[in-house]
Amino acid sequence: MPITLRVCPVTPALREAVLHLHVGPEQEGFVSPPARTLPDAEQCPGSEPMAILLGDTPIGYYRIEHSARSLTGRDDDADALGLRSFQLDAAWQGRGLGVIAMDALLADLAQRHPQARRIVLTVNCDNTAALTLYLRAGFVDSGTLYHGGRSGPQHLLWRALP
């Protein structure tokens, strides 16, 4: 039986479980834990903190930015959504769930943000696992590097939305 994941906004009922999600040590330099980014996302009117659920159990987290300009600093990204902090808990990694979670994320965006035409993200040049996932999910490398990240240069990727 195929695994079905769904995504939803982080609610008060999910908050504590989301705060306890963490990635493996090899990824800590690339993505901040929800314990650090969720409080910021909750306070920012341009951010939507989201949970990735298996059944009713949070196994991942990400945030959607209403303007990708907040990620890239580029005015030509103002009309695109931004994806930040996408992660699966270390206990759930290595099972092929990243692509399933990305499909659920994209389907959710089509329903909740039908006006959006594309989504933009940055991924550290050394984070080959994440880069592979995003390319498999239909993202395109813009060929531009973003140098504003905390851990070195990042590829700027985009994907058209339905």
Q: Taking 70 as the threshold, does the pLDDT of residue 70 lie above it?
A: no
| pLDDT value at residue 72 | 57
| pLDDT value at residue 84 | 92
Report, at the CATH architecture level, how domain 5-160 is classified. 3-Layer(aba) Sandwich (3.40)
User: In the chain, what are the domain boundaries?
Assistant: 5-160
Q: Which amino acid is at 152?
A: G
Q: Tell me the pLDDT tens digit for each residue of 52-68.
A: 999 999 999 999 998 65
Q: Phi and psi at residue 152, in whole multiples of 5°?
A: 105, 180
* Segment 129-138 mean pLDDT: 92
Q: Phi and psi at residue 21, in whole multiples of 5°?
A: -70, 145
pLDDT above 70 coverage of the chain, percent: 88
CA distances from 5 to 58, 60, 85, 105, 145 (A): 10, 10, 18, 9, 31
Q: Taking 60 as the threshold, does the pLDDT of residue 77 lie above it?
A: no
> On the CB side of 76, how many CA atoms lie within 13 Å of its CA?
3
